[in-house]
Amino acid sequence: METTARGSTPSSGMANNPDGTLSKAASGAHSTVDEAARKAKPAIDRVAAMAHQTVDKAAGAAAPAADWLAEHGESLKATQKKLMEDTCSYVSANPLKAVGIAVVAGFVLSRIVR
């Protein structure tokens, strides 16, 4: 009985050497991926640039509103506090009238929503 190792003879070539075939296939796949990446890079860069421009535009549009809120935040809080105090004092002074107004407002809102 004679045993021989596969691919160990010089005449076996690539057909009998699975490692060589695998290496050649992997090398071809790498070159294909590299070529696709080279071709796709400009498109990816354009999409990234457009995304950055969109974010910059959104930030630019939101900046004035944020600045206005920062400037007027305290006065808005003071107005809210005054309205709450006025409402509480009105409800305390006129409880039946306040309940009646709430019922009518709820009825009107329910008709509008329906």
Domain range for 31 is 18-113
pTM for the predicted model, two decimal places: 0.39
8 within domain boundaries = no
Sign of torsion over alpha carbons 78, 81, 85, 90: positive
Q: What angle do helix axes 95-113 and 18-93 make, rounded to 10 degrees? A: 140
64 within domain boundaries = yes
Alpha-carbon distance of 80 to 73, in angstroms, equals 11
99 within domain boundaries = yes
- Whether residue 90 contacts residue 102, with contact meaning beta carbons closer than 8 Å, is answered with no
pLDDT confidence bin for 66, thresholds 50/70/90: confident
How many domains, in total, are found in the chain?
1
12 within domain boundaries = no
59 within domain boundaries = yes
pLDDT confidence bin for 32, thresholds 50/70/90: confident
Q: What letter does residue 9 receive in the DSSP assignment?
A: S
75 within domain boundaries = yes
